[in-house]
Amino acid sequence: MDKKRTIIYVDDDVDDRELFKEAMLKTDGIINIVYANNGAEALEIMDNDNDLTQSLCLIVLDLNMPFLSGREIFNIIKTKDTLRNIPVAILSSGQNPNDILFFKEQGVPYFTKPDRYSEIEILADNLFKLCKK
């Protein structure tokens, strides 16, 4: 039985979380979404909830957040045995070439936050595919 059906979405933007939820609901699979406002909160959740961590199929990170940036969270995740093998995707409105290059080198998919509804569906499909891999 494939239990890995949970995505954790780390973003401080309330509107974006709503959109994300809407989009993921459109996908066929039953996906459980956990939200975190920032990196510290996300790490706290993942460090303390073993069952949840076990069920994670994808970690989706925004980049520009208070406390820890998405890149800092990514680096921390890669130091943790329990988390380092969970796939990560970046979902950011930023187009910073340094960030894009960094995640390309790390083999991490980098998605730009959509500015059209039609793109949201494509995005949701892509994230869903990452989760099923």
Partner 1 sequence: MNDIYDDIPCIYFSALANGSLINVNNTLCNYLGYEKSELLDSKLEKFFTLSTRIFQQTHLYPLLEIQGHAKEIYITLLTKNGEHLPILINAERIDNDGDFFYQFAGVSVNNRKKFEEEIIAAKKVAEKALNENEVLKATKIELEKNAEQLDYQIALFNNQNEDLRQFTHLATHTLQEPIRKLMLYSGESSLSNNNEIQFTSPQKIRKAVEELNNKLNGLQQYLWLTKDGMEIEQVDLGKLIYSIKQEIVDVNPGINILLELELMPTIDGNKEQLHFLITELFKNAVKFRKQENLVEIEITHTSLLLNKFKQLTGKYKYASYIKIEFKDLGIGIDENFNEQVFELFRVLKPDNGLGIGLSLSKKIIENHNGSISIEAKKGQYTKFVIQLPLNQ
- Chosen residue from 49, 84, 104, 117 binding partner 1 by CB under 8 A: 117
- Chosen residue from 4, 33, 80, 121 binding partner 1 by CB under 8 A: 121
Positive or negative torsion for Cα 34, 40, 110, 115: positive
- Give CA torsion, residues 74, 100, 92, 38, to 10 deg: 20
- Binding flag, residue 120, partner 1 (CB under 8 A): yes
Residues near partner 1 (CB under 8 A), total = 26
- Binding flag, residue 115, partner 1 (CB under 8 A): yes
Q: What are phi and psi of 113, to 5 degrees?
A: -60, 130
- Give CA torsion, residues 104, 132, 129, 97, to 10 deg: -20
Q: What are phi and psi of 124, to 5 degrees?
A: -60, -40
The least distance separating partner 1 from the CB of residue 4, rounded to whole angstroms, comes to 26
Residues 16-75, interacting with partner 1 (CB under 8 A): 19, 22-23, 26, 37, 40, 64, 66-68
Mapped onto helix, strand or coil, the DSSP state of residue 10 is strand
Where do contacts with partner 1 occur on this chain (CB under 8 A)? 12-15, 19, 22-23, 26, 37, 40, 64, 66-68, 93-96, 113-118, 120-121
